[in-house]
Amino acid sequence: MHQPGTRGLLTMRCRVQLSSVFAAMSLFAFLGSEGAERPTPQPGRAGRSVVMASHGMVATSHPLAAQIGLDILKQGGNAVDAAIAVNAALGLMEPMSCGIGGDLFAIVWDAKTQKLYGLNASGRAPRKATREFFANKGFLEIPETGPLSWSVPGCVDGWEELRRRFGSRPLAELLKPSIDYAEQGFPVPEVIAGYWRSAEAKLRNHPGSAKVFLPEGRAPRVGKVFRNPALGRTYRLLAEQGRDVFYKGEIAHQLVRFSEAHGGLFTLEDFTNHSSQWVEPVGTTYRGFEVWQLPPPGQGIAVLQMLNLLEGYDLAKLGPTSPDYWHLMVEIKKLVFADRARFYADPEFSQVPVAELVGKRYAEERRKLIDMQKARVGVPPGDPKLGAAETAYLCVVDKDRNCVSLIQSNYFGFGSGLTPEELGFAVQNRGTLFSLDAKHANRLEPGKRPFHTIIPGFVTKDGKPWFVFGVMGGDMQPQGQVQVLVNLIDFGMNVQAAGEAPRIEHVGSAAPTGRPEAANGGTVRAERGIPMPVIEELRRRGHVVSRVSVNGGGYQGILIDPQTHVLHGASEARKDGCAVGY
C-alpha cells in the first residue's frame, strides 16, 4: 500500500460551497424544523467540492466530531483510534442518533495483513424476554418505545474489541475530547437541532430524558451551547476502568436498577454474558469492483442482492434521469426486501442461506420477475436454495491506509425514549425489531440478536481498498448505498455528487417483524431533483409516488484514488457533517 510522504496542508471544507449551477437557483428546502437551507439536488452536480488530502481523512455527520478524529490521526493515532474517538463524540453531539446505549457494526481494512475484518457489536435480547412473557401481557407486537423494547447495548464492547485488536491508543486518550465537550459544552448545529426539536414530546414522557436532553424545558435550538455532565462522568468511568465497568461494574448495576424500576427485563447476567463477534464480510462483484457487507442479522446483504440484479442492465446507457432506471431500482428493491423479511435473522438461531441469496444464479432467476412496464404488488420471497430510524455513520482512512467503516445507532431517535439521568445516555429500542410470530426466522428468543438495519459499506478494487462509505436511515440504508454506488460506478459521478444526487426511497416492503405490509406495492418517495416526467411515467406504470424534500439517510464516503493514492472525501448536505483531511 502507498505510504504518504511529506505532510500536506489541512483541508477542511465544511461549509457549503455552491457551484455555479446552484448559484443561479432560488429554490431551497428546509431540513429539520430549524430551517437548514439546502439547494435542490441535481444528478451529477454537487453543492460542495470533494475534499482531498494525501495522508489521512475522517468523514462524519458532525464537524466537531470529524475534527476530533482528525486530531487523533495527526497526533499519530490510527484509523481505529480515530473512529472510536469520533463515535464517542457523536454519542454526545448527536444523541438522538447514536450513543453507548446502542449497538455498533464495523468493517476494518488492516494494512498489515491486507485483509478485511467485520465486527458485529450488537446486543442480545434479555434472558427474561420470551414470547410467552409478551403474550401473557396481551402484546401482539413488541412496543416501539419503553423498557420492553430494550436489547443489551453493544457499543462499548465494540469499542474495546476494535481497540484491542487494531488500536494504538488507550481509551482514556480517545475519550478525553468528548469528556471536555460534555463538561464545557458545544453549539448545536442546524440539522441535529431539527431532529432534537422533533423529539421533544417523546423526551418529555420520561423525567430522566427530559432532565438530560431538554435543558430549560426544551430541545436546544441552533447555536445553543449544550452540556451533558452526566455523560461526561460516564465517559470518565470508562476512561478509568475500561469496558468492564459497563458490563460488570458500576454502569451495569445502574442500568439493571434502572430496568427494575421501570419494568424492564435486564438482569446483571445479560450484561456479564455480553460479547461482540468478529465475522467474515460477505461480498459480490459489481462491474469489476468487489462490494463488501456484514452478514445477518444485519441487512447488508440486501445491497449485494440488489447489485446482482442491477448488473444485468446497462444502467450507464439508461442514465440517472431515465424512468426505466428508477423503475428498476424500485422493483429490484421489492424483490430483495421480500427475501429480507423471510430470511434475515441471527444465524446463531436460524439457518440463513447467505451464499445462495448473494449468488449470481439466484439473481438471474429473480430477475425474470421484473416487468419493465408494470409495478409489482405483493412480492413473495424467493427460494434461495437454487443450488425507522436514527443512525450515525463515520469513516476513517489513515496514513498507512488502514480503513474503518463504522455505523452506530439507537434505532429510533433517542432509542426507547428512556434515559438513566445519572448516566446521560438514552437506551436503544432494537428489541422492537423482533417478531412475536413463533414461525418467523426473526422471532424473539432469549439471548438472540434482533434483525438490524445499520450496515457499514466497503468496496475494494483488485483486492485493495477503494471506497469506504455508508448511508444512514433505517430501510433507506441498502437503497441509499446502491444508489450511491450506481452514481459512482455507472454514472461516473465523483464521491460528493454521488451522495448529493437526488434519491428515491421505497417504503412499504415486507417488514422483518412479520407485520403485514406491501399489499399495494408500497410508496416511492422521490426527492426534489427527480424530474416530473420521470414521476409521471412511474405513476403510469403503477407506482404510488410522493414528492419529498429529503429522504431518510445521510451519506459519508472516502475514496482512495488507485493511481495517485489521494483521498477523496465526501459528506452530503442531508446532514450537518463534513469530510476533513490533512
Domain assignment present for residue 506? The answer is yes
Per the listing, cell 494494512 goes with 111
What is the percent of the chain where pLDDT is above 90?
82
For residue 316, tell me if it sits in a domain: yes
Mean pLDDT over 85-108 rounds to 97
pLDDT of 4? 33
What is the model's pLDDT at position 512? Answer: 64
391 is catalytic: yes
In the prediction, which pLDDT does 385 show?
40
Enumerate residues 6+ apart whose C-beta is below 8 A from 119: 104, 105, 106, 107, 108, 158, 161, 162, 276, 277, 278, 279
Distance of alpha carbon 344 from alpha carbon 305, whole angstroms: 13
Greater model confidence, 342 or 189: 189
**What average pLDDT does this structure show over 115-136?**
97
Per-residue pLDDT at 529 exceeds 60: yes
Indicate if the pLDDT at residue 207 is higher than 80: yes
Q: Which of 451, 445, 455 is nearest to 515 (CA)?
A: 451
From the list 391, 419, 453, 513, the catalytic residue is 391
Task: Report d(CA 274, CA 267) in Å as an integer.
Answer: 12
- The pLDDT of residue 138 is 95
Q: What Å distances lie between residue 521 and 229, 249, 380, CA to CA?
A: 48, 49, 11
CA distances in angstroms from 396 to 204, 426, 474, 499, listed in the order given: 36, 26, 22, 17
Quote the pLDDT of residue 513.
Answer: 58
Q: Which backbone phi and psi does 306 adopt, to 5 degrees? A: -65, -40
Q: Is residue 494 part of a domain?
A: yes
Instruction: Evaluate whether 431 touches 447 at the Cβ level (below 8 Å).
Output: no
Asked whether residue 198 is domain-assigned, the answer is no
Which letter, b or e, does each residue of 433-450 get, where b requires 16 or more Cβ atoms within 10 Å of its Cβ?
bbbbbeebbbbbbebbbb
Comparing 30-39, 91-100, 181-190, 275-284, the range with the smallest average pLDDT is: 30-39
CB 572 within 8 A of CB 43: no
8 Å CB contact between 463 and 290: yes
Report if residue 214 sits inside a domain: no
C-alpha cell read off for 354: 447467505
Residue 256 lies in a domain: no
Give the per-residue pLDDT at 377: 85
Place of cell 429529503: 550
The number of domains in the chain is 1
Tell me, what's the pLDDT at 521? 80
Model confidence band, residue 253 (pLDDT cutoffs 50, 70, 90): very high
- Dump the DSSP string for 196-240: HHHTHHHHHTSHHHHHHH-GGGS---TT-EE--HHHHHHHHHHHH
Q: Which triple of cell numbers denotes residue 286?
A: 459489481
Confidence of residue 389 (pLDDT cuts 50, 70, 90): low
What's the grid cell of residue 551? 429522504
- Give, in order, the Cα–Cα distances in Å from 198 to each of 96, 185, 192, 221: 10, 21, 10, 11
- Residue 567's H or E segment, with its range, is strand 567-571
Where is average pLDDT lowest: 87-101, 190-204, 383-397?
383-397
Start-to-end CA distance of the chain, whole Å, equals 18
Would you say how long the chain is, in residues? Answer: 582
Neighbours of 484 (CB within 10 A): 27
Three-class SS state of 560: strand
pLDDT number for residue 225: 98
Q: Do 196 and 213 form a contact (C-beta atoms < 8 A)?
A: yes
Q: What pLDDT score does 386 carry?
A: 34
Three-state DSSP string of 70-128: HHHHHCCCCHHHHHHHHHHHHHHHCCCCCCCCCEEEEEEEECCCCEEEEEEECCCCCCC
Tell me what pLDDT residue 36 has: 62
pLDDT digits (tens, 9 = 90+) for 533-571: 999 999 999 999 999 988 877 899 999 999 999 999 999
Q: Is the pLDDT of residue 438 over 70?
A: yes
Residue 224 lies in a domain: no
Task: Give the Cα separation of 128 and 264 in Å (integer).
Answer: 9
User: Would you state the pLDDT for residue 579?
Assistant: 97
Vertex 139: Cα angle to 134 and 144 (nearest 5): 95
Does any domain span residue 83?
A: no
Element at 309 (helix H, strand E)? helix 301-310
Q: What percent of the chain has pLDDT over 70?
A: 89
Question: What is the H or E stretch that residue 507 is in?
Answer: strand 504-507
Checking if the pLDDT of 2 tops 50, the result is: no
- From the list 187, 457, 440, the residue with the least C-alpha distance to 301 is 457
* Domain containing residue 510: CATH number: 1.10.246.130
Coil/strand/helix, residue 39: strand
Q: What is the pLDDT of residue 508?
A: 82
Bridge partners of residue 270, in order along the sequence: none
Residue 403: strand pairing partners? 109, 397
Contact indicator for 219, 412 with CB cutoff of 8 Å: no
Backbone angles phi, psi at 380, to 5 degrees: -85, 160
Residue 430 clears pLDDT 90, i.e. is over it: yes
Whether 237 contacts 231, CB under 8 Å: no
CB 168, CB 200: distance < 8 Å: no
| Cβ 429 vs Cβ 410: under 8 Å | yes
| 452 DSSP 8-state letter | B
Residue 523 — φ and ψ, nearest 5°?
-130, 140
The residue-averaged pLDDT of 131-154 equals 96
The string of DSSP codes covering 527-554 is ETTS-HHHHHHHHHTT-EEEEES--S--
Q: What are the helix (H) ranges across 344-414?
A: 354-357, 360-367
- Residue bearing cell 425489531: 433
Which helix (H) or strand (E) element contains residue 323?
helix 323-343
Residue 360 lies in domain: 278-387+477-562
* Residue 519: pLDDT band with limits 50, 70, 90: very low
Decide if pLDDT at 258 tops 90: yes
Name the amino acid, one letter, at 334: K
State pLDDT tens for residues 394-406: 999 999 999 999 9
Tens of pLDDT, residue by residue over 266-325, are 999 999 999 999 999 999 999 999 999 999 999 999 999 999 999 999 999 999 999 999
| Three-class SS state of 470 | strand
561 vs 572: CA distance, rounded Å: 20
**Residue range 10-50, pLDDT digits in tens:** 333 333 332 322 222 222 233 444 446 666 767 767 778 99
Task: Give the pLDDT confidence score for residue 548 in this predicted structure.
Answer: 92
